[in-house]
Chains A and B, each alone.
Chain A
Amino acid sequence: MSEPRRSELGARSPGPRAVPAAAAAAAPDTSESQWIIPAKNYASTRYSTLDQITASNVGQLKLAFSFSTGVNRGHEAAPLVVGNTMYIVTPFPNLLYALDLTQPGAPLKWTYKPDPASASQGVACCDLVNRGASYFDGKIIYNTLDAHTVAVDASTGKEVWRTKVGDINQGESTTMAPLVVKGKVLVGNSGGEFGIRGWLTALDGKTGKLVWRAYTTGPDKDVLIGPNFKPFYPSDQGKDLGVSSWPGSAWKIGGGGVWGWISYDPELDLIYYGTANPGPWNPDVRPGDNKWTAGIFARRPETGEAIWAYQWSPHDLYDYDGINEQLLLDLPVNGQTRKVLVRPERDGYVYVLDRATGQVLSADPFGYITTTAGIDLKTGRPKQVEEKRPQTGKVVRGICPAAPGVKDWQPSSFSPRTGLIYIPHQNLCEDEEGTQADYIAGTPYVAAIVKMYPGPGGHRGEVTAWDPVARRAAWVVKERFPVWSGTVVTAGDVVFYGTMDGWFKALDAKDGRELWRFKAGSGIIGQPISYRGPDGKQYVAVLSGVGGWAGAVVAGGLDVRDSSAALGFVNAMKDLPQVTTKGGMLYVFALP
């Protein structure tokens, strides 16, 4: 699909390299000029085939236009470009803006206001973010914080349908970007800190009617586990494990939300998505493997039927949500090409799974880890370090990585030209004490006091270029703050990402050399994209507006004298209010 310029790269990495899963990398967006879902394609590579902007000319990149969203919370969404229109979803109150790219300065075409329930702000664990929309069949489809999914006519801005998918009084909210596969809108809930019961739901793309719902916990019939369910590891095999791996009825409030990323392989006809942490954080009150939280499911998109599942963190001890993105690649493993799923995971390992069976082929650390001593490839289970296990009434120190993991939701990108995965992540450790777990519906169910701080080296963020074939980092760029934005990589061999102190940066995809930077008004935690405008030029767009869990100290105006504020993240971000303020602005760049 891209013009191969292998001579440049051939000298550096002559061996076999990873390529994106062909069918998944093409669908659903066959046009290279658009950007119609946050991950760019079903393989979730966030790779733009545009190559006007290159490592040699990116230094001349200039601001083309900007747009203020009027909302001051964390902007985690990716803008979408469909045809000649750009769509932007803001954090709560989840406004949808359409900008006309054919006009100079991209003026506003229309605004859609979903008016989500104001009270939903009280059940959003980590700022009031939204991770973006998806385009499907003439509609922009996205979730509002108050657990509704809306479809808006892409040309008129009129609401086509709206479906209530969850209940904020039970702690449910929706922050993830839906994905549309075979006409089914896939939506999951957030609220692992509120004692929710996680699910992934498919809505009919035309009508918004519920087609199926697959719970993360509970009996097999609720989890949509049937006769075709063939997990790879024996510990995942058995009847109603989603009940028997919990005490009493704890599975009903056991968390395992689905607030991250979904990938789809059209050849195997499987969707892949991760499940979030079990609740509460304090593991004392939920003995057992707590299936199927902190894991991954492969399902049929039409029926939701589970085909295989695997748990990254059985009986999760540290809020290691398993919701990160999965890059679908075809990778040479031991001399033969395997269809794999690559997952830079919260617990600090880059997992390579056979995406047909769920077998873990390798798991290599890409950050500093004290909580586990590797992954046992025979059983698929992490080797827990006993003295780092959090307990009620005891302070355990030096837990690395901290609760946000080595990498959180912020998506990475993959370039078939370099064969590297560009992982934005953090370098944090924490101290934790478990407390008494009182479930009171609609209020937080965490039962832990946490205090985070920078990991070894003192820097809090990194961008790691990971070679999935050699199973090691090709290069690492250190950042002062966690890199809470996504990355995007282009065929011009440039990697873009933003920092929480407001810099939008371009790196050389081959060696990580910084080529260009721009200072935005507020810290950047959004997902950059690249598209070709109606004028034929390549553009790069990103939303600035600090917030999210990492930036809650600024977005929520928190008090840094309390180290446990924002689930302990504030302690690691005490200096952020000195370098950036709230904001909400779209920046779009092009060559002059």
Chain B
Amino acid sequence: MTTLADSVAWIGGHSVHVPDGPVALLLDRLGDYMYAVSAVLWVLVTAALLWAVFRRRAEGEDPNDPARERRMQRTVTLAVAASAAILFVFLFLSYDTSRAMTGRPAGEPLQIRVTGHQWWWEVEYRDSLPQHWATTANEIHVPVGRPVVFDFRSSDVNHSFWVPQLGGKRDLIPGQETSLWFRADTAGVYRGQCAEFCGYQHAKMAFEVIAEPPPRFAEWLVQQRDTAATPTDSLAQRGQLVFVTSPCVMCHSISGTTAGSRIGPDLTHIASRRTIAAGTLLNTQGNLFAWITDPQGLKPGTRMPATQLGPKDLAAVVAYLETLR
């Protein structure tokens, strides 16, 4: 089985130290400041400690010399004041960074709603014209250079949205709306991950952010707004019939068919996505077969049950899903 790790050329991987975009840059810079200052302080304190350990009292030095006492007092006061000042600088810096992250970005941001589910991400692109709404899952396309404002909800337990290279974390809390923004400055694929333990498959609740040049993004969005393609070859046609008359239809939506349930991810354009099962597997034919046949083997506890389809029906469903570009 092909897994993500051995096939995808990551752009930067999954690290806070390779920031891309102003929010991640701010966070990284804050981290760097704190690291640098702390490193200097650590060296100074360690040096002072070593000095204190190895220093010997000079000949004839009076331990009760009031002048020395005053000197020591001054040094300690100065050190405490310096520590407090540095902490205040840290406080101010982190406050400033948080403010820059949570405030609304300048310009006309793109609005995306993300809903956390055990264990996948529902992604909705909203528009003032309701006809232009688009729904996808586990894959967030964003235009390069344009700020994106996310508003978060959760349908079950606490989750946390985190794309290390693009921005901070934000919790998704049932019954509460939270939000976050970032901007991707370089085209590429960024990995995101649930960062709040949310149950059995928390570790396999990942997603991808795909930053594209604005024209390509616009193209993608128009395509995502479409209802699903009507299958033309007989195998896919049979697959559609199997889909709407099997357990698939109880949980998934395919716009334009009678499948309209939101328990599992929307599959209207599943073939256009890079991964399945919330970033668990690459979206290949073999992986689709494997996933539909034995989801509990690949991701124990996932809400997707084994569907008990016969081999012909299974092949037809996979063929159908592969037409849903």
Q: Determine if B260 and A439 form an interchain contact, defined as CB atoms under 8 angstroms apart.
A: yes
**Are B225 and A438 in contact (CB-based, < 8 A)?**
no
* A170 to B, closest residue via Cβ: B258
The interface bits of chain B over 221-256 (1 if a CB of A lies within 8 angstroms of the residue's CB, else 0) are 000010100000000000000000000011101011
A287: chain B residues within 8 A (beta carbon)? 126, 130, 133
In the complex, per-residue mask of B138-153: 1 if CB is within 8 Å of any chain A CB, else 0: 0000000000000001
Contact of A195 among B175, B227, B260 (CB under 8 A): B260
B131 within 8 A of A: yes
Q: Judge whether B129 is part of the interface by a CB distance below 8 angstroms.
A: yes
Find the B residue at minimum CB distance from A195: B260
Q: Does B308 contact A (CB under 8 A)?
A: no
Q: Check if B309 is an interface residue, CB within 8 A of chain A.
A: no
Instruction: Enumerate A234-255 residues with CB–CB distance to B below 8 Å.
Output: 243-249, 253
A253 x B262 contact (CB < 8 A): no
Asked if A248 and B133 make an inter-chain contact with CB atoms under 8 angstroms apart, the answer reads: yes
Please, which residues of chain B bring their CB within 8 A of the CB of A249?
A: 227, 255-256
CB distance from A244 to the nearest CB of B (A): 5
A394 touches B175 (CB 8 A): yes
Q: Is B261 an interface residue (CB 8 A)?
A: yes
Whether B262 pairs with A246 at a CB distance below 8 angstroms is no
- Contact assessment for A248 and B255 in the assembled complex, using a CB-CB cutoff below 8 Å: yes
Residue A441, interface by CB 8 Å: yes
State the Cβ distance, B289 to closest chain A Cβ, in Å: 26
Are the CB atoms of B261 and A244 closer together than 8 Å? no
Asked if residues B174 and A248 are in contact (CB atoms below 8 Å), the reply is: no
Interfacial residues of chain A within 275-291, with CB under 8 A of chain B in the complex: 285-288
Least CB distance from A219 to B in Å reads 12
- The answer to the question of A392 belonging to the interface, with a C-beta cut-off of 8 Å to chain B, is yes
- Chain B residues within 8 Å of A245, by CB: 130-131
Given contacts A437-B262, A438-B260, A441-B258, contact A393 B129 (CB under 8 A): no
Of residues 408 to 457 in A, which have CB atoms within 8 Å of B's CB atoms? 436-441
Q: Is the CB of B174 within 8 A of A393?
A: yes
Interface residues contributed by chain A, number (CB under 8 Å): 22
A436 engages B263 (CB within 8 Å): yes
**B131 near A246 (CB under 8 angstroms)?**
yes
Q: Which residues does chain A contribute within 8 Å of B250, judged by CB atoms?
A: 440
Q: Which residue of B lies closest to A439 (CB)?
A: B260
Q: A392 — which chain B residues lie within 8 A by C-beta?
A: 153
Give the distance in Å from the alpha carbon of A187 to the alpha carbon of B256 in the complex.
Answer: 27
Known: A394-B175, A440-B249, A440-B250. A246 touches B130 (CB 8 A): yes
B227 partner residues in chain A, CB cutoff 8 A = 248-249
CA distance A273 to B155 in the complex (A): 39
Is the Cβ of A439 less than 8 Å from the Cβ of B261? Answer: yes
Closest to B256 in A: A249
Q: With a 10 A CB-CB cut-off, give which of A243, A286, A440 has the most chain B CB atoms.
A: A440
Residues of the A chain whose Cβ atoms lie less than 8 Å from the Cβ of B175: 393-394
Please determine whether B260 and A440 come into contact, CB atoms closer than 8 angstroms: yes
- Cβ of B129 and Cβ of A244 under 8 Å apart? yes
- Contact A438:B262 (CB < 8 A) given known A393-B153, A393-B174: yes
- Contact residues, A92-146 vs B (CB, 8 A): none
Which residues on the B side are within 8 Å of A195 (C-beta)? Answer: 260
Closest to A251 in B: B131
Minimum CB–CB distance for A516 against chain B, Å? 53
Instruction: Name which residue of chain B comes closest to A286, CB basis.
Output: B130
- In whole angstroms, how far apart are the Cα atoms of A440 and B258 in the complex? 8
Residues of A contacting B261 in the complex (Cβ-Cβ under 8 angstroms): 438-440
Given A248-B255, A393-B175, does the pair A253, B260 have CB atoms closer than 8 Å? yes
Whole-angstrom CA separation of A246 from B255 in the bound complex: 13
Residues of A close to B256: CB separation below 8 A: 249
**Residues of chain B with a CB closer than 8 A to A439's CB:** 253, 258, 260-261
Q: Give Cα distance in the complex from A288 to B133, angstroms.
A: 11
Which chain A residue shows the least CB distance to B252? Answer: A438
Residues in B with CB closer than 8 Å to A438 are 251, 260-263
B129 and A436 form a contact (CB under 8 A): no
Q: Which residues of B are found within 8 Å of A243, using beta-carbon distances?
A: 131
Q: What residues of A have a CB within 8 angstroms of the CB of B134 in the complex?
A: 248
CA of A491 to CA of B211, assembled, Å: 75
Q: Are B131 and A436 in contact (CB under 8 A)?
A: no
Measured CA separation A438–B249 after assembly (Å): 10
Q: Which residues on A sit within 8 Å (CB–CB) of B262?
A: 285, 436-438
Q: Which of A243, A247, A286, A439 has the most CB of B within 10 A?
A: A247
Give Cα distance in the complex from A253 to B135, angstroms: 17
Whole-angstrom CA separation of A437 from B253 in the bound complex: 11
Check A436–B155 contact: CB distance below 8 A.
Answer: yes
Q: What residues on B are CB-neighbors of A246 within 8 Å?
A: 130-131
Chain B 154-175 interface mask (CB, 8 Å, partner A; 1/0) = 0100000000000000000011
Task: Give the shortest distance, in Å, between B51 (CB) and chain A (any CB).
Answer: 60
- CB atoms of A248 and B225 under 8 A apart: yes
A437 to B126 CA separation, bound complex (whole angstroms)? 17
Find the A residue at minimum CB distance from B225: A248
Q: Are A247 and B130 in contact (CB under 8 A)?
A: yes
4 new A-B contacts, CB < 8 A, other than A285-B262, A393-B153, are A244-B131, A437-B262, A438-B261, A439-B260
The 7 A-B residue pairs whose C-beta atoms are closest, nearest first, are A439-B260, A288-B130, A247-B133, A438-B261, A287-B130, A244-B131, A247-B130
Interface CB pairs A-B, < 8 A, 15: A244-B131, A245-B130, A249-B255, A249-B256, A287-B130, A288-B129, A288-B130, A392-B153, A393-B153, A436-B262, A436-B263, A438-B260, A439-B253, A440-B249, A441-B260
